[in-house]
Amino acid sequence: MNVRTAFLARAAAAAIAASVALFGGVFAMAEQVDMNVGEQPGYVPTPEENQLSGAYERQEVFFRTSEPPGTVLIDTNNRFLYLVQPNNRALRYGIGVGRDGFQWQGVEKISRKQEWPDWRPPPEMIERQPYLPRFMAGGPGNPLGPRAMYLGKTIYRIHGTNQPQTIGHAVSSGCFRLVDDDIIDLYDRVPVGTKVIIKQAVVL
């Protein structure tokens, strides 16, 4: 094997190794389907637990879309919620989404907003976790967190959570959850009537 051939072989091997590392990470994220964790009514996370970092931390990003500023787009595959801003920008929030069998797509509007909403676990959740209370008044430790925004006439909401570790995972019964600071920030920016687009993937 001459020097040129040996060099090309080493380069090819390095490229293959890099590709495996890159796509292995991508596939690992794509495989985050269900998180095997039950609801924890009454648990109040610490400020440190509520502080996200990395990709799921709230941040402004480049975002090209034909939708007008103020529109909300939800990317269920990648666990992001985008609030469209002017000039090809968006505020991006990390979210938790519906577990396998509870994910959905569609176009809705924010029909109602509620501070410190009461929590009534749906039948599907009661079936999985029969020990849960059938009702819990709004307040710290409530699984819906400090704010909720209701999607049309569906049973689904965009709401807070007392389980910040579930952000980035598929764990809910179809709702979309954010950490407390993020849901309060979004709630204050989004009025009733806002268009919400739910997709498996959002193309930037």
Which among 55, 42, 62 has a CA at the least distance from the CA of 162? Answer: 42
Summarised one tens digit per residue, pLDDT across range 159-175 is: 999 999 999 999 888 89
74 in catalytic set: no
Q: Residue 172: what are its φ and ψ, rounded to 5°? A: -90, 180
More confident residue, 196 or 19: 196
The confidence score (pLDDT) of residue 36 equals 59
Where residue 95 falls among pLDDT bands split at 50, 70, 90?
very high
Strand partners, 108: 196
Summarised one tens digit per residue, pLDDT across range 140-162 is: 989 999 999 999 999 999 999 99
Q: Are 145 and 185 in contact (CB under 8 A)?
A: no
Which residue among the candidates 99, 157, 159, 169 is catalytic per the annotation?
A: 159
Ordered strands of the 147-151 beta sheet: 59-62, 89-94, 80-85, 72-75, 195-199, 106-115, 147-151, 157-159, 176-177
Q: Are 175 and 125 in contact (CB under 8 A)?
A: no
**Measured distance CA(1)–CA(12) in Å, rounded:** 15
Where residue 177 falls among pLDDT bands split at 50, 70, 90?
very high
How many secondary structure helices (H) and strands (E) does the chain include? Answer: 3, 11
Q: Are 115 and 161 in contact (CB under 8 A)?
A: no
**Mean pLDDT of the residues in the chain:** 83
Which residue among the candidates 175, 178, 179, 202 is catalytic per the annotation?
A: 175
200 in catalytic set: no
Concatenating the DSSP letter of every residue in 63-103 gives: ---SSPTT-EEEETTTTEEEEEETTTEEEEEE-BEEPTT--
Q: Are 177 and 160 in contact (CB under 8 A)?
A: yes
Decide if pLDDT at 185 tops 90: yes
**What pTM, to 2 d.p., does this model score?**
0.79
Give, as one character, the DSSP assignment of residue 106: E
Summarised one tens digit per residue, pLDDT across range 9-46 is: 454 444 433 333 333 333 334 344 465 567 777 688 89
